[in-house]
Amino acid sequence: MRFRQRARHRTVAGLTTLLLPLAALVGLAGPAHAAAGAKATYTKTQDWGTGFEGKWTVTNTGTTSISSWTVEWDFPSGTSVTSAWDADVTSSGNHWTAKNKSYNGTLAAGASISFGFNGSGSGSPSNCKLNGDSCDGTTVPGDAAPSAPGTPTASAITDTSVKLSWSAATDDKGVKNYDVLRDGAKVATVTTTSYSDTGLTAGTDYSYTVQARDTADQTGPVSGAVAVHTTGGTTDPPPTGNKVRLGYFTEWGIYGRNYNVKNLVTSGSAAKITHINYAFGNVTNGQCAIGDSYADYDKAFTADQSVSGTADTWDQPLRGNFNQLRQLKAKYPNIKVLWSFGGWTWSGGFAQAAANPTAFAQSCYNLVEDPRWADVFDGIDIDWEYPNACGLSCDTSGAAAYKNLMQALRAKFGSNNLVTAATTADGSSGGKIDAADYAGAAQYVDWYNVMTYDFFGAWAAQGPTAPHSPLTSYSGIPTAGFTTADAIAKYKAKGVPASKLLIGIGFYGRGWTGVTQDAPGGTATGPAAGTYEQGIEDYKVLKTSCPATGTIAGTAYAHCGSNWWSYDTPATIGTKMTWAKNQGLGGAFFWEFSGDTSNGELVSAINSGLS
């Protein structure tokens, strides 16, 4: 039985020409250090009147190896680079920056490397710097980047302004200035340890951090963040009650689906949730690992795509979804964000992780609490599909492995961080809930996201048709125990507190084609066509393309033409939320935001149903 598939989109970009300031200028790795005597020289190798070919040569005339290099220069107005090779070249106005490729960053003593470009105009470069120092090699940059400044404090907050102050950073060669970042974007560079930001919007949440730069133009880590709420204005109240309202945000949704963090704001959903699971981090080599670095912390969002309304810049310390989540949390301080690891595709890595839970927990902590984005995340979520059972692959770690893993994570992350998990909803006798010690692990988690969906689907191509997320059993259900009520009852019977169980809602439907029968239980010829995957479609599409024609077991189904779909609607979600409250559950979660309508009607149904 396959419970769920989560499709991932991987993006591979080969940038041999100057297109966008992408990964080359993320600015997240430590700055390059030039060896003594390193030089960069420029020659114009061709000139055809309206354009030219230029070449930079970097030479290590010192006695130690250089591990990476960055060449910067200014062109006069009207002169620009149009394409480049053997380096990643980007610009900010008339200032141009070239960074080594992965294959030519290391220069042994006495070695040289060249990169070239085509240009337009007739100007020549000026103000050349190599690794932050003069291109003629006459000076040597400092060895260490500056420390992080102290977390700013806010005072004199008005409708449109705030004064920020912070303790100084330290550096072996001296601190030159500080960048002030509002919601992750630089708004000022100052030489003092204070700054007054003006022109703000009344009644609005902002987040401020500070970053120091030394005399060699090396930047250090970003300070802690201070949240500021300007006076005046009005804001949406947070959800009422103490029930969890959690949604999954997928890292790959920013690609083909074009669903950004800002959509949580424009849909109204951000005002109606309490938690976000960011999906997914990878699990490989027994460790937590980045899932998609470009989506996570590199992609530059334009002003209209950004939560703050400010475009990302090539030199800001953090971009991508992480920075957008930071901006969202500044706007909605009640929202907590967890980083979810695993999922259907990457659960195969948990077997190795379970062999050394302490080392796995340490790796996860190091990644989640990385200083570049530690303020973004409030904990970790584990999506292991499935411990001591079969999903995309089969695990034989043993019944105790899951408890041991969660115990190690709680010990490392402590009581100030959330530790949660997505768990099976297989309530059948001898099924997946019985395969692992979920009851023993429950003492270490804040809650379980019980995946009460994907019970049935068109992987059984000939049917019978059945609702993929039944609340209760019904006459003719294909498999006994494959319901929300059965799963919750089994967890409770094993001793898992009801308050640590969340009911799951799918923001999509599963369907078959070749169906002639309206009611569930009909035969089919295969999966119905879907936008991204056969047999699956978003609610926002189905509500108009195949409207619900009936309900069964607390969920809706639709028969249109030869297609048969099942999915939840605002009405059936209301029924499920009432049931969840009567069961004493801790709240609800859903997979995932982009399946909802542009005005967030499913999120609204969850929020109002739990209020």
User: Is 385 noted as a catalytic residue in this protein?
Assistant: yes
27 pLDDT exceeds 90? no
Q: Are 79 and 59 in contact (CB under 8 A)?
A: no
pTM for the model:
0.66
> What percent of the chain lies above the pLDDT cut of 90?
68
Give the Å distances, CA to CA, from 196 to 192, 208, 308: 11, 12, 19
Identify the pLDDT of residue 323.
96
CA of residue 332 relative to chain centroid, distance: 17
**Domains by residue range for the chain, with CATH:** 32-134 (2.60.40.290), 153-229 (2.60.40.10)
Compute the distance between CA of residue 123 and CA of residue 529 in angstroms, rounded to an integer. Answer: 56
Q: What is residue 127's three-state secondary structure?
A: strand
**What is the token pair recorded at 232?**
């005046």
User: What's the mean pLDDT in 384-398?
Assistant: 96
The total of other beta-carbon atoms located within 10 Å of residue 45's CB is 10
Compute the distance between CA of residue 43 and CA of residue 397 in angstroms, rounded to an integer. Answer: 62
434 pLDDT exceeds 60? yes
Bridge partners for 58 per DSSP: 40, 113
Question: Who wins on pLDDT, 16 or 355?
Answer: 355
- Angle, helix 601-610 to helix 570-582, in steps of 10 degrees: 30
564 pLDDT exceeds 80? yes
User: What's the mean pLDDT in 386-398?
Assistant: 96
The total of other beta-carbon atoms located within 10 Å of residue 16's CB is 11
pLDDT in tens, 109-128: 888 899 999 888 888 888 89
**What is the token pair recorded at 448?**
């379980």
Q: Are 66 and 109 in contact (CB under 8 A)?
A: no
Bridge partners for 204 per DSSP: none
Q: Which of 458, 495, 481, 468 is nearest to 572 (CA)?
A: 468
Compute the distance between CA of residue 540 and CA of residue 603 in angstroms, rounded to an integer. Answer: 12
- pLDDT bin (cut points 50, 70, 90) of residue 240 is low
Given 72, 251, 385, 592, the catalytic residue = 385
- pLDDT bin (cut points 50, 70, 90) of residue 146 is confident
User: Counting beta carbons within 10 angstroms of the beta carbon of residue 173, is it exposed (0 to 12), middle (13 to 18) or buried (19 or more)?
Assistant: middle
Distance between terminal CA atoms of the chain?
35
pLDDT in tens, 506-561: 999 999 999 999 999 999 999 999 999 999 999 999 999 999 999 999 999 999 99
Identify the pLDDT of residue 143.
56
